[in-house]
Structure 1
Amino acid sequence: MPLFGRKKSPETTLPRERWEPLPPPPEPGPDGLRSMDDHRDYLLSCLTELPAFNQQILDALDLSICEDVYSSIDMPRFDNSAMDGYAVRAVDVADASPEHPVSLPVVGEVAAGQDALHRLSPGTAIKIMTGAPLPPAADAIVPYENTDRGTDDVLVHEPSVVSQHVRYVGEDIRSGAQLFAAGDLLGPRAIGLLAAVGRDKVLVRPRPRVAVVSTGSELVEPGHELGGPHQIYDSNSAMLAAAAKAAGAQVFRVGLVSDDPSEVLQVIADQLVRADLILTTGGVSQGDYDVVKAALPELGATDFASVAMQPGKPQGFGLIGDDRTPMIMLPGNPVSAFVSFEAFVRPAIRKLMGVTPYTRPVVRCRATHDFGSARGRRQLARGIVSLDADGGRLVELTGGHGSHLLGGLARANAIVVLGEDVTAVSAGEDVEVWLLEEVYG
């Protein structure tokens, strides 16, 4: 379905000399490094939530609603049976017991979706199905299991009381009641409630369209043969595309771009027409071939910073093209790229969707062993969280410190966050953790 109004023009943006500058970036610390929190807050301050529009309720799953929603109907709409059984007057079966069952003539039957045509006469029963309307004068339901399931006459073995197994009009939701407020997140149960009150569309912010690009002449597409001894398969774009999709985005994995500046500029420019956010990996450090850092200022206003975090020190951000499309430029090492995604890109995607909180909640876990950290840097270590016998959370590090060690990252289910002043953690100490997955016993 086309998303109208999300781009001003389908024309490819070409390089030009001057662009409207970015807002002033935060000042670095005495060591010349920008704090991780300052960098994240700066990126988020440069982003604006996407405009809302009406979407089908299934497409609105996990999105932020942008309107207050009120019920136009009562739920239930009419008094009805909560069980398969017999509609009766409670007074007629008050003395029923297994030893002395009460016999009632069955004078009719009503199924779900039918009208209850007959008024219940004293001393009679009407067979009724779950969800069927309660016949006039009936005030209780005797479930099948408390009867002999008779068709002409029914023997009732247990007493019933007034209102037993009856659902009354409006007992769940009254017409006019508020169901959702603007800002609420729509999960599966919320989608069910919208459908139950007859809503097929709802006003929500759309999923951001994220274009993911890997740069590097050494990269080869998975599924193809490696062409030389120094080539490697591109894992970053697949990993980051999957992470963006898991965060709620609509993702376009663009593929590989060489270290040719003109090719990088053309590929990025081509994405501006369809992307709400462009995500690149590689080419933002201090090397001679860090082409993204060198070339991107031609397409828009950019900010490159050294962030006080490990891994993930080199970071880039820009507002690209005439529409000032946000672009986040991540390091090329796989662990650095993923950790940077969690620190900066996931919050950016959530802000574009208008979903809060932007960051993952911090939980406390008990370290299972000693480990160290570099002073002055926010350490983001890969961890495995498990539960002890009492349900408490434990965490151990996995994968070592190398930012290229993808095997340890794949095994991790959490990121252990150690502050700039932390140099050592002892077994048994509590540490802060971002859970990447639910942990079960």
Structure 2
Amino acid sequence: MNAREPFSVAIVGAGLTGLTAAWRLQNAGLRVKLFEKSQAVGGRTMSIRQHGFVFDTGAITMLPTYAKTVALIDELGIASHLHRMQPVIGIPRGGRMHRLDLSRPVRSLLGTRLISFGAKLRLLKLLRPMIRTWNLSNYQSLSSLADWDAESIADYVRRELGDEINQYIAGPIIRGNTLNSTECAPVGELFWMLRQYAAPFVSGFDQGINFLAETLGKRLPVHHGMQVDAVSRQGERVVVGGRGPQAVFSETFDACIIALPPPELLELAPNLSDRQRHFLQTAKPLRSVSVHLGLRRAPATTETFVLPPESEQPDLTTIIMDHLKAPGRAPSGKGVVSIFFRDTWSAANFDRPDREIVDEALRMTGSFIGDLTADVESFVVQRWPYAIIKSELGLYGRIRDYEADIDQADRIQLGGDFLSMGMEAAVSSGELLAQRIQRLGLGAGGTGN
């Protein structure tokens, strides 16, 4: 290779991980090409704009601990589109909605009648494990919490804090954020989730959650309709082959990043170790079905998020007043409501017709935010065969084993948000992959800053 030629990198997948890696590598002087099978970028940070409404049908919002994501937004010059809100969570119990204001969490929790005084006192027992896990709960990887994945949240909370806390605090937090159950998820996930809500606000884009990915996509060489079927090594080069809009293709690069969910990684990634293959094979995709409603008038409720406990509604996990996320999410006076179901319900109802799912969502939400049937102007039903990895006991240990076998000098690097959770995990993974590839480029004599 001519030393003055840019080090070339193929990136398979134009989700937020692939886009972030491509952005960093392009700015470092490397030549990148992104292969994306769909006609859009962003993966599961998807926004649909329809009849004046903006529906976030994948990722829900941005948490206050998204430091790298916010830094990237600032770098791209789009921070003016990002808006903070002080969320109010509504948790129903016995026919009454109890409000928890996250801008004043301690005062709100002490004053609520959602749980008894004795339960509030028992919450103090969370301080010790939270202190122990505070710096472990990062977006790079959940492997740091491997010592906390041998017991479920439900078992831990019932034993240490009581069933009331499991039903009305831990349950809604986990169901509302991961669509999962405290019976399945390791207790480390509860500590991780509490850590991420460490500031009294969340953020949203006025253009939709996918605005970051769309901005990156416009500044990068993304090739759509490109189904990659094989990635292989050829000496010190990497061959990427597949099917494009016009014909089959086979191209050679100096390195490759595969930024795909675990089921697709398992099919495409060459030379996985036994432990890496075991992790990808046992990573269970959590299916998701969600309903997004454009309403001719905004609901009267002022809660930003309504999180029904399992005892109140076993199949419904989250109701979001999306028009409160940021200005411009709905025409003046109108509203946007997103409704998410538990993973088991989603799996059982995945193939039902859209209209039936919308009717079911309206029936389930009626007792919490009122009957919205007459106000529906527009709707979207989103189905994700893979939304996130379903958390279960032993998962963090398997992630630790997977990471232990990563060869950071390999010309084929794998990444995504599957080692942690959320948009910040995707951005963090993209930046880490870019650092590894850039070191390879410099070591091979390619150009780079």
**TM-score computed with the length of structure 1 as normaliser:** 0.22
Higher helix share: 2
**TM-score computed with the length of structure 2 as normaliser:** 0.22
Structure with larger RCO (C-alpha < 8 A, sep 6+): 2
- Structure possessing the higher radius of gyration over alpha carbons: 1
